[in-house]
């Protein structure tokens, strides 16, 4: 019995010693700080990857619509486009039109090589650069690195930019 009482006294504090020790508080704060540090480092990368994935999905959808339009209109490339959120309509009546749903590029559609931020532009022939956060579909071209160059009549490329880990953007040329 005496040994059990000594163990109980060893695990319990004396009447005047309530609360946590400084070391216990410091350990809890250090662990909480590490968790917050990990979260603050991971969240921006997750957001950047999410935006890049949405850009790539939009590019694939628009290229598929251009391909569908071309297949349904005897190999002709679309010369016009229109935008009614969340869809881009490729081509105009009386030709058969095609649509693509987009999520990231939501500022409109234009038949220009230099669309505004968040917009999709259509152009024919070579186009070397693309504005930040814009998507340019170039018909009659092929990719040469990160730029479109005059290529086959049926060639279609998408020029857009993605975010990199260093906070800059990188141009991407994707053939459709």
* Number of domains the chain contains: 1
Question: Does residue 167 form part of some domain?
Answer: yes
Rounded Cα gap, residues 136 and 158, in angstroms: 6
DSSP string for residues in 39-98: HHHHHHHHHHHHHHHHHHHHHHHHHHHHHHHHHHTTTPPP--EEEETTEEEES-TTSPPE
Rounded Cα gap, residues 40 and 64, in angstroms: 37
CB 155 within 8 A of CB 141: yes
The pLDDT assigned to 2 comes to: 64
Cis peptide before 86 (omega within 30 of 0): yes
Question: Does residue 84 form part of some domain?
Answer: yes
Paired tokens of 139: 């018909």
The pLDDT assigned to 12 comes to: 58
Parent domain of 91: 20-175
User: Which residue matches tokens 């020029």?
Assistant: 159
Rounded Cα gap, residues 28 and 156, in angstroms: 58
The pLDDT assigned to 105 comes to: 83
The pLDDT assigned to 3 comes to: 60
Question: Does residue 85 form part of some domain?
Answer: yes
Question: Does residue 2 form part of some domain?
Answer: no
The pLDDT assigned to 33 comes to: 96
pLDDT truncated to tens, each residue of the chain (176 aa)?
A: 566 666 566 555 555 567 889 999 999 999 999 999 998 888 888 888 898 899 899 889 888 888 888 888 887 888 778 888 788 888 877 777 888 888 888 888 877 767 777 888 887 776 656 777 888 888 888 787 777 777 766 788 888 888 887 777 888 888 87
Rounded Cα gap, residues 158 and 62, in angstroms: 9
Question: Does residue 10 form part of some domain?
Answer: no
pTM of the model: 0.73
Question: Does residue 6 form part of some domain?
Answer: no
Question: Does residue 9 form part of some domain?
Answer: no
Question: Does residue 5 form part of some domain?
Answer: no
CB 97 within 8 A of CB 91: yes
């Amino acid at each position: 019995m005496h040994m059990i009482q000594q163990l109980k006294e060893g695990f319990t504090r004396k009447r005047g010693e309530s609360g946590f020790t400084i070391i216990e508080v410091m350990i809890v704060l250090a662990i909480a700080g590490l968790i917050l540090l990990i979260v603050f480092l991971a969240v921006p990368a997750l957001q950047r990857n999410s935006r890049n994935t949405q850009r790539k999905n939009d590019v694939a959808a628009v290229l598929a619509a251009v391909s569908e339009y071309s297949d349904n209109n005897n190999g002709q490339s679309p010369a016009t486009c229109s935008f009614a959120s969340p869809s881009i309509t490729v081509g105009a009546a009386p030709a058969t039109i095609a649509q693509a749903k987009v999520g990231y590029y939501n500022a409109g559609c234009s038949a220009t090589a230099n669309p505004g931020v968040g917009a999709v532009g259509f152009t024919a022939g070579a186009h070397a650069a693309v504005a930040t956060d814009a998507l340019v579909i170039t018909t009659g071209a092929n990719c040469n690195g990160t730029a479109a160059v005059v290529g086959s009549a049926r060639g279609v490329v998408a020029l857009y930019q993605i975010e990199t880990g260093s906070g800059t953007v990188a141009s991407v040329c994707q053939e459709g």
